[in-house]
Structure 1
Amino acid sequence: MEMVLPNRLHKGDKVGVIAPASPPNIDQLNKAIPFLESLGLEVVIADHVEDVHGYLAGTDEERLADVHDMFARPDIKGIFCAGGGYGTGRIADKIDYELIRKNPKIFWGYSDITYLHTAIRQKTGLVTFHGPMLSSDIGKDDFHDESKTMFHQLFFSQPLTYNESLAPLTVIAEGEGRGELTGGNLSLLVSTLGTPFEVDTKGKLLLIEDIDEEPYRIDGMLNQLRLSGKFHDAAGIVVGDFMNAEPSKRKASLSLSQVLKDYLSGLAKPVVAGFKIGHCQPHFAIPLGVEAELSSNGTLKISPGVK
């Protein structure tokens, strides 16, 4: 699939907000909107963002309608997800990917949005963005200044370089690797296996991150990726943040670092852990689908995500 870069944003552009997964915290969403406005953007809230259907932000049909509407509208130049939770996998097979292919634009989110990142990129080639969301991140009091600066990449075609200036990195396996950057939330990536949206890692740099998963659960998901050949196929592994990866159900447990070492240290490719990418602050936002280079000297170089 040929890579498609979305157009960069300009001050005065309209951007849409959707909730394709769980219901967002509306108070935090309202606190977050002024941040987008401070970037010079006009914010348009999709019709069903405040809808609640159990643990979903509206029915599948309503959430799908918001996705389609925001991609179809020519006045909307970018789409930001209000939050994650659960639900994007339920609509992935109903999305009109031809509509997205004909109307490429910035699409931003993470966590449960990983399913849409994977599906959209593999069906259309569109580069999408793994970054902090309005309700679950921007609208909270601890939203980090460094996280705010990551939105600047949407206005300028500039490469990104991640090094140890943000946080220490740990080399699990030595090497140099280059390829398309793919991946996201580990549990969502595993949930694509065996579906038409199964994550493709062949020759790519695979990002993994997660939250509130015990080491034994992470062990099981890494084993599933191993047995399905996803680590073998990858050019390198970028290990993002694994917040609250502590044992609670089991008193005796391996540590997260032991689990990662068991599955990733023997790979003949670069594996580096500690990236502040995921459910963390600061959150280093990145484009998915662009060329990137990972080195065990502690750097991740990423090509621009907009044109």
Structure 2
Amino acid sequence: MAIKPLALQRGDTVGIVTLGSPLAAETINARIAYLRSLGLNVVVGRHVYGANGFLAASAQERAEDLMGMFADPAVRLILPSRGGVGVEGILPYLDFRFIRMNPKIVSGYSDITVLLNALTQLSDIVTLHSLLLIDFKPGTPPYNFEQFFAATSSVAVPRPIVNPPALPLVSKVPGNVSGPIVGGNLTSLTGTLGTPFEIDTRGKILLLEEVHEPVNTVYRYLEQLRLAGKFDDCRGILAGQCTDCPDAYGVSYSDVVDNYIVPLGKPTISGLASGHGEYKAALPLGALANLNATEAELTLLEPAVTYG
């Protein structure tokens, strides 16, 4: 069973890190102010405000910021400012054994996907495919905060993951399976193939979502995962949203799901609100879930956190 970090409570400390691309200082400061308005304390990594081209700092410097948050006993939640690119570069500099001994809640999506799955696989801790620092702002859909704080502050299970009413989950391939959730951003997952941090889908429920990529590129990445055996090994598939993904040659993302994921024959639901979409479910990676694809239902069987 995966290790669960301690639950988040009012007055706890959040550690802010920038692990990939830079984010404007005024945006970071505004989001930190919002976190504080929620009754949370904040500490900031040395390179949070850094900017070195399309990266915030060197891979080693960004990794040092992250390890510093795991080493700080006051920090309960580690919240990356954004994703972007470059998160995979920090992985060789992380001490996964130390992280296993000092588990914290780590939340994010986008390029943070590679970190979440690496921590789950190599440190055996539950991570959270959910909000980034940039999402803590006025006007964020209440659904997102309800999902986030239900996952980070409560141990109540089973917990159904219910999409907003306007976005019903859709059954694509019937079946009923259980297993830990893994996955996230398709581009980022594909980038781990052939590395020591390659995603392990064996016996898992595989979550996939994407943003901005034309659907012919989405198809290419799905084929890479298929050829790498990642669909052979998984128990079921959560086809999340493809946010702002242009059609290609008259083919839509829905067509790609129907033509290339459905024939895999794994229990599958589509339309899950996650990642880059406006609405973001909070999905604990590494925790046991039930995928009832016949009824288009996803239920978390394990909490993401513990009360200790």
Q: CA deviation at 1:38?
A: 3.5
Q: Provide, for residues 128-148 of structure 1, a one-character-per-residue CA deviation record: whole Å limited to 9, x for no partner.
A: 11112112x224x54211112
What is the CA-CA distance between 1:215 and the residue it aligns to? Answer: 0.7
Is the contact made by 1:183 and 1:208 (CA closer than 8 Å) also made in structure 2?
yes
TM-score by length of 2: 0.93
The TM-score, its normalising length taken from structure 1, stands at 0.94
1:92 is displaced (CA, Å) by 0.8
* Partner residue, 1:94: 93
Greater Cα offset, 39-48 or 191-200 = 39-48
Aligned match of 1:36: 35
1:263 and 2:260 matched: yes
- One-letter code aligned to 1:120: L
Q: Distance in 1 between matches of 2:169 and 2:285?
A: 21
Structure 2 residue 283 is matched with structure 1 residue 286: yes
Which string of whole-angstrom CA distances, capped at 9 and with x for unpartnered residues, describes residues 2-21 of structure 1? 41111112222111000101
**1:219–1:44 Cα change, 3 Å:** same
Provide the rounded CA distance (Å) in 2 between the counterparts of 1:59 and 1:165.
39
Q: Give the stretch that moved more between structures: 57-66 or 214-223.
A: 57-66
> Which residue of structure 1 aligns with residue 178 of structure 2?
178
Aligned to 2:81: 82
Q: Which runs of 5+ in 2 are unaligned?
A: none
- Structure 1 residues 267-305: Cα deviation after superposition (integer angstroms, max 9, x where no partner): 333111101111112211221110001112121001210
Give the conservation status (yes or no) of the 8 Å contact 2:143–2:164: no
Conserved in 1, the CA contact under 8 Å of 2:169 and 2:297? no
Structure 2 counterpart SS, 1:274: strand
Q: Measure how far apart 1:162 and its partner are.
A: 1.7
| 1:18 aligned partner | 17
Question: SS where residue 200 of structure 1 aligns?
Answer: coil
CA contact (8 A) 1:22 1:83 kept: yes
Mapping of residues 289-304 of structure 1, within 5 Å? 289-296=286-293, 297-302=295-300, 303-304=302-303
Q: Which of 273, 276, 300 is matched with 2:273 structurally?
A: 276
Unpaired segments of 5 or more residues in structure 1? none
**How many angstroms does 1:158 deviate by?**
2.1
- CA contact 2:287–2:304 (8 Å) conserved in 1: yes
Match of 1:225 in 2: 225
Aligned residues: 301
Map 1:85-164 onto structure 2 (within 5 A).
85-135=84-134, 137-139=135-137, 142-152=139-149, 153-159=151-157, 160-164=159-163
Deviations 1:21-63 (A, max 9, x none): 1002322222222332233210111111001111001111211
Match of 1:254 among 239, 246, 251: 251
Report the secondary structure of 2:182's partner residue: strand
Within 5 A, what are the aligned runs for 1:41-56? 41-56=40-55
- Distance in 1, matches of 2:250 and 2:221, equals 16
